[in-house]
Amino acid sequence: MISDLARAALLGLLEGLTEFIPVSSTGHLLLLGHFFGFTDDAFGKTFVVLIQLGAILAILSVYFTRLWRIALALPSDPEARRFVVGVLVAFLPAAVIGAAAHSFIKGVLFNVWVVCMTLIVGGLILLWVDRLDFKQRHHDATRFPLAMYLGIGAAQCLAMIPGVSRSGATIVSAMLLGADKRAAAEFSFFLAIPTMAGAFAYDLYKNWGEMTGANALLVAVGFATSFIAGWFVVKSLLAYVSRHGFALFAWWRILVGAMSLIALALVG
């Protein structure tokens, strides 16, 4: 049997590798956790959210200089203020719905059968989107119209269904609203910061009683591997999607969803 520490490291690695690409990190973590038996208790189900802190810090480390410049410019630059307002506007729908429907999401939607189906459907949607000829009107993620930020934020709410993919929902919606692939992926990174931080803080508050010393060590291990893997993905993803699009991720979703359905049907 794989030790709990090894499982935590593996789940953290998977979180970092999948959080920022449109394949659904939560869906993959739930599937892997299900087959390992690591998410059978209350802490295990919360673990898949708590280790996202490592991925959040990976974004901050990569974009620290740019975000710091925006922060310094807030008092004097209206464009910087408008971007910060845009991120908050995009974050608001998920914050409201996530808090209101938290119990339903964790109790009903965190289901491996749901994950398998949404992985497959999302993969087909990605293949369709990747073949569309978009009119690319927006090339800077910090200068989208406010209404566009709100539309992306509304689409992000779909990712509360595990398997949909937060990055997939935000990237696809941004492209449908006129962003090029690079700008869409970059704004997905920026929006991930408050969204994932909010999910982390809320789950930590709701499940503080589960955080024993042993559980804290597991989260720390998952955090470290999530940070390292997430850093490499953030550094390389923009260049990849600009050149190659999303077909690779679409076929991966379909493959994982289909194979997991077969495994569930055979072994449960």
DSSP class per residue in 86-138: HHHHHHHHHHHHHHHTHHHIIIII--HHHHHHHHHHHHHHHHHHHTS-----B
pLDDT at 148: 96
Helix axes 78-100, 52-73, angle to 10 degrees: 150
Domains contained in the chain, number? 1
Q: Above 50 in pLDDT, residue 99?
A: yes
**Residue 52: Cβ within 10 Å count:** 27
Question: What percentage of the chain exceeds 90 in pLDDT?
Answer: 47
Containing domain of residue 8, as a range? 4-267
SS3 179: strand
Residues near 257 by beta carbon (within 8 Å), at least 6 away in sequence: 115, 116, 117, 118, 119, 120, 123, 163
pLDDT at 210: 63
Look at the block and give the residue holding tokens 């779909």: 158
Tens of pLDDT along 218-228? 778 888 999 99
HSE (side-chain half, CA atoms, 13 Å) at 265? 7
Tens of pLDDT along 181-239? 889 999 999 999 988 888 778 777 776 766 666 677 877 888 899 999 999 998 888 88
Quick one: DSSP state of residue 26?
Answer: H
132 φ, ψ (degrees, to nearest 5): -75, 150
C-alpha distances in angstroms, 26 versus 1, 17, 31, 54, 226? Answer: 23, 11, 9, 14, 13
Residues near 239 by beta carbon (within 8 Å), at least 6 away in sequence: none
Whole-structure pTM value: 0.85
Q: Above 50 in pLDDT, residue 1?
A: no
Q: Above 80 in pLDDT, residue 116?
A: yes
Report the mean per-residue pLDDT for the chain.
86
- Cα separation of 69 and 108, whole Å? 42
